[in-house]
């Protein structure tokens, strides 16, 4: 990231007593910048402000935040916007501060446009916690994902799949996962573990709009083995078809190609070439 | 907290790209300052550096950190020292930075000495995640404890007990819990959930030294109901006997009093008056 703003001012300094730092008491969003615009900003703000509600963090004003973020990325042709909202500085102890002042921080970085090609993935041994209190949220506590991502260094492995401590398929370290089985699109529920990804939502809405049979459900490692198509999604890369997982190989199947085409039409340029 | 040091310099500024802030990729310690000394510093450093090992964070030099912390608190008669170790600043993404530079931060605050009197506690609805990858660690991701502590505002309730998502007793939001059943001292294992508290370790070592039968095991809410003595521990308050939980009442029983006496003798002054 190249530039940062904290509570509207150009700065890189977070107060050491900020509960985002001391307790991971906050949320974040990772937004693709495309042609000077924060892509799917409304969906990101939906999730961010819903998350504030679930955590009882005083949410920033949506219209004001949206305007600020749009202004920030106006001159960036292609890149990444990260947005943080925390409960703000506070005294020691888990109890909520009497008068918390929400911290809103964001940063931008430029990146190079590249199509999302089929990837090789692996299984991670590190599991994701299952907890309905925080499931679905993109909260700041991501140590499990850090440990999972640290399991491999090979550059040819693009992502690792994680199971929950309850043995269910959750998704990639930094992505949601979709399977196709018997012409039906499947993705793990995020009621007990995982993150309700914005690109996941875009894919689900595209699938439902196109009449592709879709089910959000509990899935297991066996479901991955039995799938005829596998792909992962995140806000920065759209759909990435999975071509290899261990000894198993997949082509980019018809439903994946169909969805890539729909996403490309919806502005997800990195899905070019898959449809 | 009154004063802060970041990487050895007086400062309150954490870089916004610090992985402690962005991913809760770090650890902390809360240390009691008594008579110008960080109490049980060796035990805190044991846990902190063991945690660094588990997370593959380059640990600060123990002797140097100990000397710095001792010098910092020299003139504080009674208070709190918080120590943070994070993987340091890094680029976007969960992958470990190529050359991470550990952040070491600490802060001090003065407080008033007070004896730890018997307390009233409650049950929390928010559960603690079970995950062997992070169990026992005092990692920065404490959102579950924040949500649990936010369940009550009544000042007469001093602590809340949490269960794991697997239904086991874990401890208080900011404490470990001990039960006495049939003259045996029990405390939850911390292999799947919970924190391996420093005062927990002090109590366990005192109990074993005194020949009090002790077992670290899986415990349930029913075990709490059936206990003849209940107390909670943390680094700042030593042993706090539990006198009330819902409709149930306990006196301060003989094993709790015995342990309070042993802890008082070991320098835990707040256990005065319980033995």
Give the C-alpha separation, A5 to A59, whole Å: 17
The answer to whether B165 touches B144, Cβ cutoff 8 Å, is: no
Give the C-alpha separation, A27 to A44, whole Å: 11
Name the residue ranges covered by the structural domains of chain A: 3-110, 119-271
Shortest CA distance from A146: residue in chain B:
B94
Six token digits for residue B114 = 């007070």
Query: For B194, which DSSP code?
Result: S
Distances from the Cα of A131 to the Cα of A145, A190, A200, B162, B169, angstroms: 15, 10, 20, 13, 15
Six token digits for residue B144 = 């579950």
Closest-CA residue to B258 (of B217, B218, B216, B211): B211
**Are B20 and A19 in contact (CB < 8 Å)?**
no
A156: closest CA of chain B, how far (Å): 14
Q: What is the mean pLDDT of chain A?
A: 97
Give the C-alpha separation, B271 to B240, whole Å: 8
Mean pLDDT confidence for B6-30: 98
pLDDT tens-digit map of A26-53: 999 999 999 999 999 999 999 999 999 9
**Are A95 and B134 in contact (CB < 8 Å)?**
no
Residue A145 has its nearest CB partner, among B1, B94, B148, at: B94
Enumerate residues 6+ apart whose C-beta is below 8 A from A133: B126, B127, B144, B147
The answer to whether B159 touches B121, Cβ cutoff 8 Å, is: yes
Q: Name the CA radius of gyration of chain A, rounded.
A: 19
SS3 assignment for chain A: CCEEEECCEECCEEECCEHHHHHCCEEEEEEEEECCEECCHHHHHHHHHHHHHHHCCCCCCHHHHHHHHHHHHCCCCEEEEEEEEECCECCCCCCCCCCCCCEEEEEEEECCCCCCCCEEEEECCCCECCCCCCCECCECCCHHHHHHHCCCCCCCEEEEEEEECCCCEEEECCEEEEEEECCEEEEECCCCCCECCHHHHHHHHHHHHCCCCEEEECCCHHHHHHCCEEEEEECCCEEEEEEEECCEECCCCHHHHHHHHHHHHCCCHHHCCCC
**Are B22 and A28 in contact (CB < 8 Å)?**
yes
pLDDT tens-digit map of B163-206: 999 999 999 999 999 999 998 999 999 999 999 999 999 999 99
pLDDT of A89 over the 80 cut: yes
pLDDT tens-digit map of A94-120: 999 999 999 999 999 999 999 999 999
Residue B146 has its nearest CB partner, among A1, A23, A126, at: A23
List the single best residue of A6, A13, A15, A22 to mutate versus B (max B Cβ within 10 A). A22
B13 DSSP β-pair partners: A15
Residue A25 has its nearest CB partner, among B87, B126, B143, at: B143
Q: What is the mean pLDDT of chain B?
A: 97
- Please report the pLDDT score of residue B272 as a whole number: 86
Query: For B87, which DSSP code?
Result: -
The percentage of residues in chain B with a pLDDT greater than 70, rounded to a whole number, is 99
**Are A24 and B140 in contact (CB < 8 Å)?**
yes
pLDDT tens-digit map of B22-62: 999 999 999 999 999 999 999 999 999 999 999 999 999 99
Size of interface A-B (CB pairs under 8 A): 186
Enumerate residues 6+ apart whose C-beta is below 8 A from A32: A38, A39, A40, A79, A80, A81, A235, A236
Given the DSSP bridges, would you call strands B176-181 and B184-188 parallel, antiparallel or unpaired? antiparallel
Distances from the Cα of A149 to the Cα of A157, B85, B258, angstroms: 10, 20, 47
**Are A140 and B142 in contact (CB < 8 Å)?**
no
pLDDT of A275 over the 80 cut: no
Chain A residues closer than 8 Å to B93 by CB: 149, 174
Give the C-alpha separation, A162 to B99, whole Å: 26
The answer to whether B230 touches B250, Cβ cutoff 8 Å, is: yes
pLDDT tens-digit map of A155-214: 999 999 999 999 999 999 999 999 999 989 999 999 999 999 999 999 999 999 999 999
Given the DSSP bridges, would you call strands A3-6 and A103-110 parallel, antiparallel or unpaired? antiparallel
Give the C-alpha separation, B13 to A14, whole Å: 6
Chain B residues closer than 8 Å to A174 by CB: 93-94
Length of chain B: 275
The CATH label, of 3.30.70.3000, 3.30.1490.190, 3.10.105.10, 3.20.10.10, for the domain at A119-271 is 3.20.10.10
pLDDT of B274 over the 90 cut: no
The answer to whether A120 touches A245, Cβ cutoff 8 Å, is: yes
A181: closest CA of chain B, how far (Å): 30
Q: How many CB atoms lie within 10 A of CB B212?
A: 18
- Specify the pTM: 0.97
Q: Which phi-psi region, left, alpha or beta, contains residue B257 (left: φ > 0; alpha: ψ -120 to 50)?
A: alpha
List the single best residue of A16, A87, A107, A170 to mutate versus B (max B Cβ within 10 A). A16
Shortest CA distance from A138: residue in chain B:
B23
Give the C-alpha separation, B185 to B229, whole Å: 9
**Are A16 and B20 in contact (CB < 8 Å)?**
no
pLDDT tens-digit map of B198-240: 999 999 999 999 999 999 999 999 999 999 999 999 999 999 9
**Are B24 and A24 in contact (CB < 8 Å)?**
yes
CATH (residue range A3-110): 3.30.470.10
């Amino acid at each position: 990231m190249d530039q940062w703003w904290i509570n509207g001012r150009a700065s890189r300094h977070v107060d050491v007593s900020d509960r985002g730092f001391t307790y991971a008491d906050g949320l974040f969003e990772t937004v693709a910048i495309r042609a000077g615009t924060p892509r799917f900003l409304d969906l990101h703000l939906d999730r961010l402000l819903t998350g504030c509600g679930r955590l009882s963090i005083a949410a920033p004003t949506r219209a004001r935040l949206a305007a600020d973020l749009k202004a920030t990325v106006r001159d960036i042709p292609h890149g990444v916007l990260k947005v943080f909202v925390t409960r703000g500085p506070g005294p020691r102890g888990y109890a909520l501060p009497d008068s918390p002042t929400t911290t809103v921080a964001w940063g931008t970085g430029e990146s190079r446009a590249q199509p999302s090609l089929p990837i090789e993935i692996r299984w991670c041994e590190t599991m994701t916690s299952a907890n309905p209190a925080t499931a679905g949220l993109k909260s700041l506590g991501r140590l499990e994902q850090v440990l999972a991502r640290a399991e491999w260094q090979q550059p040819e492995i693009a992502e690792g799949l994680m199971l929950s401590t309850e043995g269910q398929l959750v998704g990639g370290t930094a992505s949601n996962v979709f399977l196709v089985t018997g012409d039906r699109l499947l993705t793990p529920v995020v009621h007990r573990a995982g993150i309700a990804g914005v690109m996941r939502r875009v894919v689900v809405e595209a699938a439902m709009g196109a009449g592709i049979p879709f089910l959000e459900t509990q899935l297991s490692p066996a479901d991955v083995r039995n799938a005829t198509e596998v792909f992962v999604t995140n806000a920065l890369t759209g759909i990435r078809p999975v071509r290899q997982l261990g000894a198993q190989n997949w082509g980019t199947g018809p439903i994946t190609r169909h969805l890539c085409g729909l996403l490309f039409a919806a502005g997800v340029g990195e899905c070019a070439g898959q449809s």
